[in-house]
């Protein structure tokens, strides 16, 4: 504890107090067992591995989807950057050359779009280099665009900004920490700080680029990426644009702005002067973001036949996603956070060990059996069996079952059951996805698609997904069937063609399984009489639609088939043996982790410190079944029993708007005095009880001392105690100050202001 | 004679004979054009070789530190281009000793003196008879006042300080007395004031920008014949119309050229289309010229009148770039046959789509926060308790009714409503408190059920202290919809904000989140 010695050193003005060792984080989780009563040894680590696998699969899928969503915009931006200085994109007759600027606006956040754009720029480079060098990667390949990044934190002033801009190109280092200029074929003497051009002089950049042009013609585009554009100093940026526009005929600069404000009303137009805007050839594009993207990602990750997530989201998590994204902020990042947290929580459960296989971390089935047959695993086996029996009771009588001894299965039988249940659960989820997609196809063809990406519309779609997960689609199916009955021959044909296309696009296995549906569709399609396919829109008398007599019975047939098909496919996923291994189900989402309320939590903890600590312990241990947790939630603690800061805070809550610090100290000292007396008494009592065992005396004395004040042994002790009280007061006061509960006023030095009022107990 | 010709003649005479040490050119309308004129004067003098001229043209914005100014000036005066291979070194004097002239003003003077020696040597070699001048031109000279105000005096007295024949020329759109140093430290300049450019001069200048057709046009947007030399006559008429429409708003030649560049391809397209039709019908190219008769020309002009106004409305504030605009405003093939057709609706600058864009990109909670911020910025802080305070007995809010109280009389001062005075700054706590009231009254029934909250209002209380709200506030600040007025690095005070949305936007958001009438919540309703 060097810091304590520093306290006595008068030359030190600042002392760092190290955190107590017992408070530091412990990353070692090898012996962490949250559920000892129903887990196998090392289960937690195995489940973390399973989690990692499942999460990685889901994350990769989401990344791929986002990549695909961004693709059109990325292509647009990359093409714009490439051709920004070509004749194609410059209008003849302009009074002066403009600075090409493209802003990518992503309100709500789309952190990946810029990375994708830069990736695309690089890829184009590589592609062109590959063509030039007949496919062989050459170190002397010349890039078509050189990218430099500017961040607002590095550029507080114009000088900083220009320096970052110039050195971003001139002093580039590539990944292998070599001078990147040599790769471009540039050589130079070392610049001197004093007699060469200043490193914030755009002349330096011009000289560099002129030299570059000698070895590479046409020269590359100089792409400047301005991150967090809104945070840059507005005047500095405007001056920078002016300076760049003076040299734009010699330097093919292209600016790429990362905007977090919406494209309309535009941040640039509201903050920049017109004279600056006149220098720019500005284009602002909106990145895909918001609720629509969230919906797309959820749909394609969890409700698409093409992809099978290892763990399906349950209604509780979906509810939370919908609530959070519609209410607070909708972005892919938030969505990923939620899914990841839900997965993490899901894999707390011991049984999720079986998510991917039944090997339990060993290499073969034998190994798994060996692990299960160890005496430590009996708890786990017992729990598994109870669960299976419980699920079996809820299973309908006519459901197919595996041919094993259900009442007294062996360990290997249990593993078989698990494998069988996994297959079943996956099949069920797959059917649900299939059914949902068929339903959507039908929905799109019976209703006219509304183009508006309205919030409420997207929200509705999201809610629908949630209902599908809960299996509540009867109403929708009925509505669809009704709509189909009214369809004309042409529309019916269109619908069947679309369905047929969809079934054809499935993978081989599913296509095989859906043989019957496909045959039905093809057969029905041929029954539609050819004359009814004539477009009825050409009908001049819309009031009397000519309906072919063969159509209504056909339509009814299709509606009935569809109703039956959808009802068998879309079923609740929270059924079947061990269903909750592959579904997060109704487990509530730990929203406090994502969206906590720090201040009320701190206040509650200060008011009830033992409860806060106790509940933390309960959270970490299994629900209070283990010994060692000394916590009785009903016990009311006396004031003197509380920690210093809580004593101080109690008094704080009782005070008026202003608190006199001296009075506060007095009352604190009083509480501490009680504390000292009580503790001392307790100590004496325990000493006495020990001595009583030996001598059998002293009862009288104990009675006597109960209401007697316990003084100090010496004057010195009393002084020491007083100093201690003061130190404890100051320490607790500073902690409160640090947490923002105290506001100092200049008017009265000995008074502080409260910052928190009206706390319900 | 145009204004710039007058300037040129005056300036070239001055330079050719005996120039004053300090000239101040004031052009309030277009400094860029003025700078171009000065440059062409210098070019002419150099070509005519009346005097040997070494000249540096600096820019007050580009040279934002003294060192940049010295470097740029000396390099230009010595006609020295730093090159990359030799380490971008500056001009280092005739002796090549690697002297440093950019350290301070003394260094600069030394640099100028050694330059003088070098030039004197060259002069004696080459042409001993011609006179020799040095010229230092500073554009945007007013910016020197911000960046290096102490240099202004020295720069204006350069001839005195260096004992050289050097002339400092300042170009600015401010007047000298607005930027001159106090106490008369600088000598009085020789003033040249440039009058606003006349219509004829503007049109001449614009016509001179007509692109040279010898350079083949390779552009996907416009047809290659758009700037055919034979069309220039039509172009001049077009410019005349354009000037007539735009001159009430701007007479800046650059702006007019910008609008013309965007509008001309569309304007000339019907002519080109008609010609192509004739060629397709079998006429030879020579036979079908580019001449446009009076009748069709008047028809075109009439047709495009409104469209030029649209171009002005969109392009002058730079809502889109000229290229984009030209792309999206190419007239349809049959425009001449449908003379009465109105310009397409998308050309109009409608504020409604802007708002829908904004309102879709932010979340429900963000709208609540913005409405709360609007109220906090409009209502005086003292009124909060009366407006939002809710006692147990739910008494009616008392509010000042009937809009503004106008005290016309002895005081004469009319109280202007806060809504018109601009937003007032408010601390974060106040925003959160108002947000709490709004949420409690308008959001309570839309929340997911939470049985753990039992006390009325507890849910809202927890909701407004959650991290999501605070991060939303920060996000809105980044989006420029809230303005932070307190410095970001001061953590010990409650941060202050100012609302960044207008009354109309606030009203729309309020309706969207279920507050039917935002007037009810305003202390001084409109």
From the CA of B482, how many Å to the nearest CA of chain A?
Answer: 11
pLDDT value, residue A728: 92
- pLDDT grade for A240, boundaries at 50, 70 and 90: very high
State the helix-helix crossing angle for A551-569 and A474-485, rounded to 10 degrees. Answer: 160
Sign of CA dihedral B137, B142, B148, B151: positive
Whether the pLDDT of residue B415 is over 80: the answer is no
Q: How far is CA B369 from CA A108, A228, A264, B355, in A?
A: 15, 22, 20, 17
* In a domain? residue B135: yes
Query: Alpha helix locations (H) across A17-92?
Result: 43-82
- pLDDT grade for A136, boundaries at 50, 70 and 90: very low
Whether the pLDDT of residue B129 is over 70: the answer is no
Nearest to B462 among A159, A196, A597 (CB): A597
pLDDT value, residue B487: 85
- pLDDT grade for B336, boundaries at 50, 70 and 90: low
User: Do B163 and B279 share a domain, yes or no?
Assistant: no
pLDDT value, residue B32: 87
Given a contact cutoff of 8 angstroms between Cβ atoms, the answer to whether A226 and A232 are in contact is yes
Buried b (16+ CB within 10 A) or exposed e, B478-516: bbbbbbbeeeeeeeeebbbbbbbbeeebbbbbbeebebe
Looking at B193, B217, B241, which one is the last position of a domain?
A: B193
**A684-707 pLDDT, tens per residue?**
888 888 776 655 444 444 444 445
Tokens of B289: 């010229």
Task: Quote the DSSP letter at residue A697.
Answer: -
Task: Quote the DSSP letter at residue A755.
Answer: -
Nearest chain B Cα to A274, which residue?
Answer: B317
pLDDT value, residue A699: 44
Whether the pLDDT of residue A711 is over 50: the answer is yes
> Of A53 and B133, which is predicted with more confidence?
A53
User: Do B29 and B163 share a domain, yes or no?
Assistant: yes
At A204, is the secondary structure helix, strand, or coil? helix
- pLDDT grade for A20, boundaries at 50, 70 and 90: low
At A640, is the secondary structure helix, strand, or coil? helix
- pLDDT grade for B413, boundaries at 50, 70 and 90: low
pLDDT value, residue A61: 93
Sign of CA dihedral A442, A448, A452, A456: negative
Contacting residues of B for A327, CB less than 8 Å apart = 363-365
Tokens 């990344």 sit on residue: A63
Please give the residue range of the domain that contains residue B432. 355-392+400-521
The 10 Å Cβ neighbour count of residue A36 is 15
Distance CA A659, CA A669 (A): 16
Contact A198 B322 (CB under 8 A): no
* In a domain? residue B47: yes
- pLDDT grade for A176, boundaries at 50, 70 and 90: very low
Q: Which of 68-107 (A) contact B at CB < 8 A?
A: 87-96, 98, 107
Cis peptide bond N-terminal to B118, omega within 30: no
Whether the pLDDT of residue B426 is over 90: the answer is yes
* In a domain? residue B275: yes
Mean predicted confidence (pLDDT) in B173-185? 84
Contacting residues of A for B251, CB less than 8 Å apart = none
The C-alpha angle with vertex A682 and arms to A680 and A686, in degrees rounded to 5, equals 115
* In a domain? residue B526: no
User: Do B434 and B514 share a domain, yes or no?
Assistant: yes
Tokens 């429900």 sit on residue: B364
Instruction: Residue B341: name the closest of B303, B297, B397, B372 by CA.
Output: B303
DSSP element (H, E) containing A8: none
How distant is the alpha carbon of residue B94 from its chain centre? 43
User: Do B359 and B490 share a domain, yes or no?
Assistant: yes
Nearest chain B Cα to A329, which residue?
Answer: B363
Range of lowest pLDDT (A44-48, A171-175, A733-737, B360-364): A171-175
pLDDT value, residue A108: 64
pLDDT value, residue A255: 92
Residue A280's DSSP bridge partners are: A99
Q: How many domains does chain B have?
A: 3
Given a contact cutoff of 8 angstroms between Cβ atoms, the answer to whether A331 and A66 are in contact is no
Given a contact cutoff of 8 angstroms between Cβ atoms, the answer to whether B298 and B245 are in contact is no
Q: Which of 596-625 (A) contact B at CB < 8 A?
A: 596-600
Instruction: Residue A325: name the closest of A458, A472, A465 by CA.
Output: A458
Whether the pLDDT of residue B372 is over 70: the answer is yes
Tokens of A356: 């991917």
Range of lowest pLDDT (A92-106, A198-212, A686-700, B264-278): A686-700
The C-alpha angle with vertex A107 and arms to A101 and A108, in degrees rounded to 5, equals 145
Mean predicted confidence (pLDDT) in B271-297? 77
pLDDT value, residue A417: 87
pLDDT value, residue A56: 93
Distance CA A457, CA A130 (A): 46
From the CA of A132, how many Å to the nearest CA of chain B?
Answer: 25
Whether the pLDDT of residue B378 is over 50: the answer is yes
> A319 in contact with B at a CB cutoff of 8 Å?
yes
Whether the pLDDT of residue A135 is over 80: the answer is no
- pLDDT grade for A460, boundaries at 50, 70 and 90: confident
Sign of CA dihedral A246, A250, A251, A255: positive
User: Do B149 and B232 share a domain, yes or no?
Assistant: no
pLDDT value, residue B232: 84
Instruction: Residue B262: name the closest of B197, B319, B346, B336 by CA.
Output: B319
- pLDDT grade for A133, boundaries at 50, 70 and 90: very low
CA atoms within a 13 Å half-sphere pointing along the CA-CB vector of A357? 13
* In a domain? residue B435: yes
pLDDT value, residue B350: 47
CATH of the domain at B436: 1.10.10
* In a domain? residue B501: yes
Buried b (16+ CB within 10 A) or exposed e, B389-427: eeeeeeeeeebeeeebeeeeeeeeeeeeebbeeebbebb
pLDDT value, residue A24: 55
Whether the pLDDT of residue B346 is over 70: the answer is no
- pLDDT grade for A624, boundaries at 50, 70 and 90: very low
pLDDT value, residue A689: 81
Percentage of residues in chain B having pLDDT higher than 70 = 85
Distance CA A79, CA A100 (A): 13
Whether the pLDDT of residue A185 is over 70: the answer is no
Walk me through the domains of chain A, giving residue ranges and CATH numbers: 83-289 (3.40.50), 598-625+635-754 (no CATH)
Distance CA A87, CA B220 (A): 9
* In a domain? residue B29: yes
For testing contact with chain A, the best of B57, B78, B88, B213 (most A CBs within 10 A)? B88
Distance CA B323, CA A89 (A): 7
Distance CA B291, CA B198 (A): 29
Distance CA A230, CA A257 (A): 9
Pairing of the two strands A280-286 and A221-226: unpaired
**A388-405 pLDDT, tens per residue?**
888 888 877 777 777 777
> Of A67 and A133, which is predicted with more confidence?
A67
Query: Alpha helix locations (H) across A224-314?
Result: 234-246, 267-271, 274-277, 291-302
Mean predicted confidence (pLDDT) in A339-358? 87
For chain B, the distance separating the N- and C-terminal CA atoms, rounded to the nearest angstrom, is 55
Contact B361 A202 (CB under 8 A): no
- pLDDT grade for A340, boundaries at 50, 70 and 90: very high
**B7-33 pLDDT, tens per residue?**
888 888 888 888 888 899 988 888 888
User: Do B54 and B142 share a domain, yes or no?
Assistant: yes
Contact B467 A595 (CB under 8 A): yes
Mean predicted confidence (pLDDT) in B215-238? 76
Size of chain A, expressed as the number of residues it contains: 761
Contact B472 A319 (CB under 8 A): no
The C-alpha angle with vertex B9 and arms to B7 and B14, in degrees rounded to 5, equals 95
Distance CA B499, CA B478 (A): 13
Cis peptide bond N-terminal to A359, omega within 30: no
Residue A257's DSSP bridge partners are: A103, A226
Buried b (16+ CB within 10 A) or exposed e, A545-580: eeebeebeebbeebbebbbebbeebbeebebbbbbb
Task: Quote the DSSP letter at residue B331.
Answer: P
User: Do B308 and B180 share a domain, yes or no?
Assistant: no
User: Do B27 and B127 share a domain, yes or no?
Assistant: yes
Q: How far is CA B526 from CA B355, B369, B416, in A?
A: 21, 21, 11
Contact A93 B260 (CB under 8 A): yes
Distance CA A595, CA A604 (A): 17
Environment class of A498 (CB within 10 Å of its CB; exposed 0-12, middle 13-18, buried 19+): middle
Instruction: Residue B192: name the closest of B41, B3, B39, B33 by CA.
Output: B3
Query: How would you list the strands of the sheet with A99-105, edge to edge?
Result: A145-150, A221-226, A253-259, A99-105, A280-286
Distance CA A43, CA A31 (A): 10
Distance CA A7, CA A20 (A): 17
Pairing of the two strands B131-139 and A742-744: unpaired
Mean predicted confidence (pLDDT) in A289-314? 87
Whether the pLDDT of residue B274 is over 90: the answer is no
**B44-72 pLDDT, tens per residue?**
888 877 777 888 899 988 888 888 888 88
Environment class of A247 (CB within 10 Å of its CB; exposed 0-12, middle 13-18, buried 19+): middle
- pLDDT grade for B343, boundaries at 50, 70 and 90: very low
CATH of the domain at B68: 3.40.50.300
The C-alpha angle with vertex A446 and arms to A440 and A449, in degrees rounded to 5, equals 75
Distance CA B507, CA B516 (A): 9
* In a domain? residue B404: yes
pLDDT value, residue A65: 92
- pLDDT grade for B373, boundaries at 50, 70 and 90: very high
User: Do B131 and B58 share a domain, yes or no?
Assistant: yes
User: Do B124 and B217 share a domain, yes or no?
Assistant: no
Given a contact cutoff of 8 angstroms between Cβ atoms, the answer to whether A353 and A43 are in contact is yes
Nearest chain A Cα to B447, which residue?
Answer: A323
Percentage of residues in chain B having pLDDT higher than 90 = 6
> Of A24 and A84, which is predicted with more confidence?
A84
pLDDT value, residue A726: 92
> A542 in contact with B at a CB cutoff of 8 Å?
no
Contacting residues of B for A210, CB less than 8 Å apart = 83-84
**A740-758 pLDDT, tens per residue?**
888 887 777 788 888 887 6
pLDDT value, residue A58: 93
Instruction: Residue A197: name the closest of B65, B256, B391, B290 by CA.
Output: B65
User: Do B146 and B117 share a domain, yes or no?
Assistant: yes
Looking at B193, B209, B238, which one is the last position of a domain?
A: B193
User: Do B171 and B48 share a domain, yes or no?
Assistant: yes
Looking at B193, B226, B253, which one is the last position of a domain?
A: B193
């Amino acid at each position: 504890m060097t810091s304590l010695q520093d306290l006595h050193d008068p030359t030190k003005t600042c002392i760092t107090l190290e955190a107590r060792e017992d408070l530091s984080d412990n990353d070692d989780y090898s012996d962490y067992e949250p559920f000892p009563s129903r887990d196998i040894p090392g289960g937690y680590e195995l489940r973390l591995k399973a989690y990692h696998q499942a999460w990685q699969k889901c994350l990769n899928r989401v990344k791929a989807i986002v990549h695909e969503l961004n693709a059109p915009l990325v292509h647009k931006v990359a093409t714009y950057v490439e051709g920004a200085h070509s004749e194609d994109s410059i209008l003849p007759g302009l009074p002066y050359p403009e600075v090409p600027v493209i802003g990518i606006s992503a309100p709500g956040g789309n952190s990946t779009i810029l990375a994708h754009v830069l990736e695309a720029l690089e890829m184009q480079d590589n592609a062109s280099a590959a063509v030039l060098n007949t496919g062989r990667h050459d170190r002397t390949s010349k890039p078509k665009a050189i990218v430099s990044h500017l961040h607002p934190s590095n550029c507080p002033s114009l000088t900083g900004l220009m320096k970052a801009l110039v050195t971003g190109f001139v002093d580039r280092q590539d990944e292998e920490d070599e001078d990147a200029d040599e790769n471009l074929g540039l050589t130079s003497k070392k610049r001197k700080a004093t007699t060469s051009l200043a490193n914030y002089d755009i002349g330096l950049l011009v000289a560099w680029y002129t030299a570059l042009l000698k070895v590479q013609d046409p020269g590359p585009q100089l792409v400047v990426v301005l991150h967090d554009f809104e945070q840059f100093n507005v005047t500095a940026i405007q001056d920078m644009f002016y300076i760049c526009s003076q040299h734009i005929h010699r330097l093919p600069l292209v600016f790429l702005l990362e905007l977090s404000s919406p494209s309309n009303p535009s941040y640039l137009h509201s903050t920049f002067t017109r004279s600056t805007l006149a220098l720019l050839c500005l284009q602002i594009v909106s990145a895909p973001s918001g609720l629509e993207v969230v919906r797309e990602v959820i749909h394609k990750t969890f409700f698409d036949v093409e992809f099978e997530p290892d763990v399906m989201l349950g209604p509780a998590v979906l509810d939370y996603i919908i609530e959070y994204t519609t209410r607070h902020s909708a972005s892919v990042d938030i969505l990923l956070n939620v899914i990841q947290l839900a997965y993490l929580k899901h894999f707390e459960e011991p049984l999720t060990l079986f998510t991917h296989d039944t090997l339990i971390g060993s290499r073969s089935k034998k190994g798994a059996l060996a692990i299960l047959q160890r005496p430590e695993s009996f708890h786990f086996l017992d729990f598994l069996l109870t669960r299976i029996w419980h699920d079996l009771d809820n299973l309908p009588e006519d459901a197919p079952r595996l041919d094993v001894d259900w009442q007294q299965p062996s360990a290997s039988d249990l593993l078989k059951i698990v494998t069988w249940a996994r297959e079943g659960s996956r099949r069920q989820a797959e059917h649900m996805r299939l059914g949902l997609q068929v339903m959507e196809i039908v929905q799109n063809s019976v209703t006219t698609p509304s183009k508006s990406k309205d919030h409420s519309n997207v929200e509705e779609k999201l809610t629908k997904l949630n209902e599908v997960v809960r299996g509540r689609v009867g109403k929708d199916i009925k509505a669809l069937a009704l709509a189909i009955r009214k369809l004309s021959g042409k529309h019916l044909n269109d619908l069947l063609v679309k369905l047929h296309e969809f079934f054809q696009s499935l993978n081989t296995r599913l296509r095989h399984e859906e043989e019957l549906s496909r045959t039905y569709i093809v057969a029905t399609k041929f029954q539609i009489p050819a004359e009814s396919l004539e477009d009825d829109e050409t009908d001049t008398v819309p009031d009397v639609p000519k309906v072919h007599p063969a159509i209504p019975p056909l339509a009814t047939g299709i509606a009935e088939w569809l109703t039956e098909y959808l009802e068998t496919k879309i079923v609740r996923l929270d059924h079947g043996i061990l269903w909750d291994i592959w579904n997060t189900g109704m487990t509530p989402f730990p929203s406090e982790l994502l969206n906590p309320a720090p201040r009320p939590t701190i206040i509650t903890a200060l008011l009830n410190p033992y409860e806060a600590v106790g509940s933390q312990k309960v959270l970490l241990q299994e629900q209070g079944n283990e010994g060692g947790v000394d916590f009785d939630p009903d016990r009311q603690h006396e004031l003197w029993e509380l920690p210093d800061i809580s004593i101080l805070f109690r008094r704080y809550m009782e005070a008026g708007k202003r608190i006199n610090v001296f009075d506060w100290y007095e009352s604190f000292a009083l509480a501490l005095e009680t504390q000292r007396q009580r503790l001392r008494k307790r100590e004496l009592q325990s000493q006495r009880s020990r001595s009583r065992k030996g001598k059998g005396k002293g009862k009288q004395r104990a009675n006597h001392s109960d209401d007697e004040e316990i003084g100090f042994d010496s004057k010195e002790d009393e002084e020491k105690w007083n100093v201690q009280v003061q130190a404890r007061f100051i320490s607790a006061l500073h902690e409160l100050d640090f947490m923002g509960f105290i506001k100092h006023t200049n008017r009265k030095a000995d008074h502080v202001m409260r910052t928190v009022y009206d706390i319900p107990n | 004679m145009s204004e710039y010709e007058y300037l040129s003649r005056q300036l070239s005479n001055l330079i050719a004979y005996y120039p004053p040490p300090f000239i101040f050119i004031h052009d309030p309308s277009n400094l860029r054009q003025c700078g171009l004129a000065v440059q062409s004067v210098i070019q002419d003098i150099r070509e005519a070789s009346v005097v040997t001229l070494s000249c540096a043209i600096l820019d007050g914005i580009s040279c934002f530190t003294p060192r940049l100014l010295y470097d740029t000036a000396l390099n230009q005066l010595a006609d020295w281009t730093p090159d990359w291979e030799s380490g971008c070194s500056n001009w280092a004097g005739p002796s090549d000793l690697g002297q440093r002239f950019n350290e301070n003003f003394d260094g600069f003077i030394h640099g100028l003196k050694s330059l003088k020696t070098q030039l004197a040597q060259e002069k004696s070699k080459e042409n001993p008879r011609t006179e020799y001048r040095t010229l230092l031109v500073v554009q945007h000279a007013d910016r020197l006042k911000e960046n290096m105000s102490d240099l202004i005096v020295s720069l204006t007295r350069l001839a005195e300080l260096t004992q050289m024949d050097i002339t400092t020329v300042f170009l600015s759109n401010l007047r000298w007395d607005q930027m001159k140093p106090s106490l008369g430290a600088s000598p009085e300049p020789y003033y040249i004031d440039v009058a606003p450019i006349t219509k004829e001069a503007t049109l001449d200048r614009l016509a001179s920008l007509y692109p040279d057709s010898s350079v083949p046009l390779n552009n996907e947007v416009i047809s290659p014949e758009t700037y055919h030399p034979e069309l220039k006559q039509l172009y001049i008429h077009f410019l005349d119309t354009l000037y007539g429409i735009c001159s009430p708003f701007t007479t800046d030649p650059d702006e007019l050229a910008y609008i013309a560049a965007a509008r001309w391809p569309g304007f000339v397209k019907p002519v080109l289309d008609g010609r192509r039709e004739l060629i397709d019908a079998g006429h030879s190219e020579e036979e079908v010229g580019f001449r446009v008769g009076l009748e069709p020309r008047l028809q075109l002009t009439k047709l495009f009148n409104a469209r030029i106004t649209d171009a002005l409305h969109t392009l002058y504030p730079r809502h889109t770039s000229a290229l984009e605009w030209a792309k999206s405003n190419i007239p349809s093939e049959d425009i001449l046959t449908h003379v009465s057709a109105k310009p397409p609706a998308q050309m109009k600058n409608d504020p409604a789509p802007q708002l829908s864009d904004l309102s879709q990109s932010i979340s429900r909670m963000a709208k609540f926060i913005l409405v709360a911020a609007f109220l906090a910025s409009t209502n005086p802080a003292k009124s909060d308790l009366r407006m939002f305070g809710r006692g147990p007995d739910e008494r009616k809010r008392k509010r000042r009714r009937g809009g503004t109280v106008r005290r016309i009389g002895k005081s004469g001062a009319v109280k202007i409503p806060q809504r018109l005075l601009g937003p007032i700054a408010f601390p974060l706590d106040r925003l959160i408190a108002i947000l709490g009231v709004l949420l409690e009254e308008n959001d309570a029934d839309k929340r997911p059920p939470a049985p753990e909250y039992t006390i009325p209002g507890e849910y809202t209380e927890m909701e407004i202290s959650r991290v999501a709200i605070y991060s939303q506030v920060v996000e809105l600040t980044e989006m420029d919809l809230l303005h932070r007025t307190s410095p970001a690095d001061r953590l010990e005070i409650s941060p202050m904000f100012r609302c960044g949305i207008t009354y109309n936007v606030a009203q729309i958001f309020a309706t969207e989140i279920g507050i039917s009438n935002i007037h009810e919540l305003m202390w001084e309703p409109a």
